[in-house]
C-alpha cells in the first residue's frame, strides 16, 4: 500500500527553472516537494545532473543602465533567430522580465563577473547584435547559478517546508476523473515500492532530451522525461522538430554521451571557426559571420566537414589573450579529453544541445491540463521558435520558474486523495534499447533529415517492445522512445527547412510558417486538429 506524501506544489527537476520555482513558492509559504533524478548536491562532483550546470556563455539580458540596448532590440534578435516561429507577445513578456529575474538570481547568491568599474561584465554570442550576455566564472555561468541555487535551496530546506526526493524519477502525473492534476507517482533508486505525492500543482522542469542522440552537450538525465509525462497527462507538444545543434561541441572521435560544450562566447571574444584547410567556415554565409545565429553556423560547419572530408572543424583561439583564465571550463574540458590548447585550434563538431519546442504553455507556465505547469527547456512558450537565440535559455528558465510559483500560490488548495483516477505504478510502456534509438536518431534525425530516413526511424520506434517500468533507466528509455516519436512525427510533418530543422528533400522555407501541435490519443502520437494560429509569418 502506497502511503502518499502531500504538498502544495511538486517540482519535477532541479535546474534553474525548478529551483527558482521552489524558492519563490516557499517564500510565499507553500509546502514544496522536489523530485529530481540527481543525487544530493555536492559541489565537487565533476558530473552534475542538470543542464543548467553545464551552461557556459551566460544569461542574455537587457540591463536598465545600458543605453546601447533595449528590450525591443533583444526581441528583434530573438525573433530573427527564431526564423518566423517565435511568438512576439510571449517573447516580449519573457525578455521584458529579464532584468528582474537576473536580479533575483543575484539575490539568491549568484556572483556574476564584473568589469573594473564594478558593473556587470557583458559578452556577445551568435545572433546578438550587442554585448548583452552576463556571465560568471568566465565561462562557468551555469555552474555558478546552479551552485548558488542549491545553497539557497539548502538554507530554505533547513527552515522547513521543502522536501527533496533525490535520485527519483516521476513515472506519472496523476489526475482526477475531471482531468485535474492531483500529484505524481515516482520511483526512487534502490527503493522497491513506488511513491506518490499528492498536490494540486505539478511543475515540470525536467530539461531537454539531448540523449536522443549518441553525442550531446547535455547531462545524462536529459531523456525527454517531461515531454513523455506531459503527453500521457493529455498536454500538447509543439515545435519538437527544432532540436538545436550547437555549432561547437568538442570533437573526440567515437565517444558517446555528454561531451564538452565549447561556448559561443569564444567567438564573441574573437575566436574564428575554420575548416581543416584553415578557411573561414562562415565567410559569405551570413552578415554576422562567426556570430550568425546558431543554426546558420552549425549548418556552415557541417557543410565544411562535407566539403573537406575531415571529421571536424576548428575553433581558432590564437587571437584571444589569457584564454585559460577567461574560459576555464572549456580549458578543463579540452585537457580532460587529452588535448592541448597549444596549437590554438580546438577541434569541434555540431552537437545536440537544446530542445527549442516542448510542452505548450502560456506565459505563466500553464499547460492546457489544469494544475500542470511546465518551465525551462521542457516548455514551449514561443520564445525560441525554430531556433533559440544564444543564452536566452537560463533567462527563460528563471523568469518562468518564478511565474510558475505564482500560479501555484493562486491555485493552492486541498487535494482529495480519493479523487485520484488510478495510480498506475506497474506500467508497461514501449521502450526501445537506448543505443539502437540513439544511433537511428543520430543517423536520420540530426542536423539534416529526409522523408525516407524519418520513415525508417518511425518504423523502428513502432517496433519498440513494451517494458515494465521498474526503475530510473526503464522510465528514461520509455521517455526517450515516446519523445523520439514526437520529434520524428513533427519533422516528417514539416515539409520545409526552417531554423534548426533542415530537410535535405525540402531545402526551402515556406511562407506558411506555423507551429504544429501534437498529442497522444490511445497511445498514438497524432497531430492535434486545433492547430495553432500562425504566430509570425516567416
- CB nearer to ligand SIN: give 352 or 461: 352
- CB nearer to ligand SIN: give 7 or 55: 55
Residue 33 DSSP SS3: strand
- CB nearer to ligand SIN: give 78 or 172: 78
Cell numbers linked to 273: 571557426
The binder of ligand SIN chosen from 24, 50, 263, 497 (CB under 6 A) = 263
The binder of ligand SIN chosen from 264, 275, 290, 295 (CB under 6 A) = 264
Q: Taking CB positions, which residue lies at the least distance from ligand SIN?
A: 57
CB of 323 to ligand SIN, least distance (A): 15
The binder of ligand SIN chosen from 172, 175, 206, 393 (CB under 6 A) = 393
How big is the CA angle at 504 (ends 294 and 283), to the nearest 5 degrees?
Answer: 40
CB of 325 to ligand SIN, least distance (A): 17
Binding residues for ligand SIN, rule CB under 6 A, total: 11
Closest CA to 135 of 322, 329, 272, 292: 329
CB of 78 to ligand SIN, least distance (A): 12
Residue 294 known to be catalytic:
yes
- CB nearer to ligand SIN: give 185 or 355: 355
Residue 32 DSSP SS3: strand
Residue 530 burial (CB count, 10 A): 8
Restricted to residues 336-355, the positions that interact with ligand SIN (CB under 6 A) are 354
CB of 341 to ligand SIN, least distance (A): 18
Closest CA to 328 of 125, 137, 111: 137
| CB 214, CB 191: distance < 8 Å | no
Q: Is 390 in the site for ligand SIN (CB under 6 A)?
A: yes
- CB nearer to ligand SIN: give 329 or 481: 329
The binder of ligand SIN chosen from 18, 57, 84, 499 (CB under 6 A) = 57
**Cα–Cα distance measured from residue 61 to residue 145, given in angstroms and rounded to the nearest whole number:** 15
Residue 196: exposure state from Cβ atoms within 10 A (0-12, 13-18, ≥19) = buried
Determine how β-strand 59-60 pairs with β-strand 133-134.
antiparallel
- CB nearer to ligand SIN: give 353 or 403: 353
Q: Is 229 in the site for ligand SIN (CB under 6 A)?
A: no
Restricted to residues 93-152, the positions that interact with ligand SIN (CB under 6 A) are 125
Residue 502 DSSP SS3: strand
**Cα–Cα distance measured from residue 381 to residue 238, given in angstroms and rounded to the nearest whole number:** 10
User: Which range, of 183-191, 257-265, 309-317, 423-431, touches ligand SIN by CB under 6 A?
Assistant: 257-265
The binder of ligand SIN chosen from 171, 355, 391, 497 (CB under 6 A) = 391
Cell numbers linked to 429: 510502456
Among 92, 122, 294, 516, the one annotated catalytic: 294
Q: Is 329 in the site for ligand SIN (CB under 6 A)?
A: no
Q: Is 265 in the site for ligand SIN (CB under 6 A)?
A: yes
CB of 390 to ligand SIN, least distance (A): 4
Write the DSSP assignment of 201-233 as a string of letters.
EEEE-----GGGSSEESS-TT-S-HHHHHHHHH
Closest CA to 267 of 422, 127, 163, 396: 127
How big is the CA angle at 414 (ends 412 and 416), to the nearest 5 degrees?
Answer: 145
Percent of residues in the chain assigned helix, strand, coil, to nearest 5: 35, 20, 45
| CB 249, CB 260: distance < 8 Å | yes
CB of 187 to ligand SIN, least distance (A): 31
**Cα–Cα distance measured from residue 23 to residue 149, given in angstroms and rounded to the nearest whole number:** 9
Which residue, chain included where needed, has cell 486538429?
529
User: Which range, of 53-61, 233-241, 396-404, 449-457, touches ligand SIN by CB under 6 A?
Assistant: 53-61
Q: How far is CA 511 from the centre of its chain?
A: 27
CB of 109 to ligand SIN, least distance (A): 21
User: Which range, of 85-93, 155-163, 325-333, 390-398, touches ligand SIN by CB under 6 A?
Assistant: 390-398
Q: Which residues are the active-site residues?
A: 294
Tell me which residues touch ligand SIN (CB under 6 A).
Answer: 55-57, 125, 263-265, 354, 390-391, 393
Amino acid at each position: 500500500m502506497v502511503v502518499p506524501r502531500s504538498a502544495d506544489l511538486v517540482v519535477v527537476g532541479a535546474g534553474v527553472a525548478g529551483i527558482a520555482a521552489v524558492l519563490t513558492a516557499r517564500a510565499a509559504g507553500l509546502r514544496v516537494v522536489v523530485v529530481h533524478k540527481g543525487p544530493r548536491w555536492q559541489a565537487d562532483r565533476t558530473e552534475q545532473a542538470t543542464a543548467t550546470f553545464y551552461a557556459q556563455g551566460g544569461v542574455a539580458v537587457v540591463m536598465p543602465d545600458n543605453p546601447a540596448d533595449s528590450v525591443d532590440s533583444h526581441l528583434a534578435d530573438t525573433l530573427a533567430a527564431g526564423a518566423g516561429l517565435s511568438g512576439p507577445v510571449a517573447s516580449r513578456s519573457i525578455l521584458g522580465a529579464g532584468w528582474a529575474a537576473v536580479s533575483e538570481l543575484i539575490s539568491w547568491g549568484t556572483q556574476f563577473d564584473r568589469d573594473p568599474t564594478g558593473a556587470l561584465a557583458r559578452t556577445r554570442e551568435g545572433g546578438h547584435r550587442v554585448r548583452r550576455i552576463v556571465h560568471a566564472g568566465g565561462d562557468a555561468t551555469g555552474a555558478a547559478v546552479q551552485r548558488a541555487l542549491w545553497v539557497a535551496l539548502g538554507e530554505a530546506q533547513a527552515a522547513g517546508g521543502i522536501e527533496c526526493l533525490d535520485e527519483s524519477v516521476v513515472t506519472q502525473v496523476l489526475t482526477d476523473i475531471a482531468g485535474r492534476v492531483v500529484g505524481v507517482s515516482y520511483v526512487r533508486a534502490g527503493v522497491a515500492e513506488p511513491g506518490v505525492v499528492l498536490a494540486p500543482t505539478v511543475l515540470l522542469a525536467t530539461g531537454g532530451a539531448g540523449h536522443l542522440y549518441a553525442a550531446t552537450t547535455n547531462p545524462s538525465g536529459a531523456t525527454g522525461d517531461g515531454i513523455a509525462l506531459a503527453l500521457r497527462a493529455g498536454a500538447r507538444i509543439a515545435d519538437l522538430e527544432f532540436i538545436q545543434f550547437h555549432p561547437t561541441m568538442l570533437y573526440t572521435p567515437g565517444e558517446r554521451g555528454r561531451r564538452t560544450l565549447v561556448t559561443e562566447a569564444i567567438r564573441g571574444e574573437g575566436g574564428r571557426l575554420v575548416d581543416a584547410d584553415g578557411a573561414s567556415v562562415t565567410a559569405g554565409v551570413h552578415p554576422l559571420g562567426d556570430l550568425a545565429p546558431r543554426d546558420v553556423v552549425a549548418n556552415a560547419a557541417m557543410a565544411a566537414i562535407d566539403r573537406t572530408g575531415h571529421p571536424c572543424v576548428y575553433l581558432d583561439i590564437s587571437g584571444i589573450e589569457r584564454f585559460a583564465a577567461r574560459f576555464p571550463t572549456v580549458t578543463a574540458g579540452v585537457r580532460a579529453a587529452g588535448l592541448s590548447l597549444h596549437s590554438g585550434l580546438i577541434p569541434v563538431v555540431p552537437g545536440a544541445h537544446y530542445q527549442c519546442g516542448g510542452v505548450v504553455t502560456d506565459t505563466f507556465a500553464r499547460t492546457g491540463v489544469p494544475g500542470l505547469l511546465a518551465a525551462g527547456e521542457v516548455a514551449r512558450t514561443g520564445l525560441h521558435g525554430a531556433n533559440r537565440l544564444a543564452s536566452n535559455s537560463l533567462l527563460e528558465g528563471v523568469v518562468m520558474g518564478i511565474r510558475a510559483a505564482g500560479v501555484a500560490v493562486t491555485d493552492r488548495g486541498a487535494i482529495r486523495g480519493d479523487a485520484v483516477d488510478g495510480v498506475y505504478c506497474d506500467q508497461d510502456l514501449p521502450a526501445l534499447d537506448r543505443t539502437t534509438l540513439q544511433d537511428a536518431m543520430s543517423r536520420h534525425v540530426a542536423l539534416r533529415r529526409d522523408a525516407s530516413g524519418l520513415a525508417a526511424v518511425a518504423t523502428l520506434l513502432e517496433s519498440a517492445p513494451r517494458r515494465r517500468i521498474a526503475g530510473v533507466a526503464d522510465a528514461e528509455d520509455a521517455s526517450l522512445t515516446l519523445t523520439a516519436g514526437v520529434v520524428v512525427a513533427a519533422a516528417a510533418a514539416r515539409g520545409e527547412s526552417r531554423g534548426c530543422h533542415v530537410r535535405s528533400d525540402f531545402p526551402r522555407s515556406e511562407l506558411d510558417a506555423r507551429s504544429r501541435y501534437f498529442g497522444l490519443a490511445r497511445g498514438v502520437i497524432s497531430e492535434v486538429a486545433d492547430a495553432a494560429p500562425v504566430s509570425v509569418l516567416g
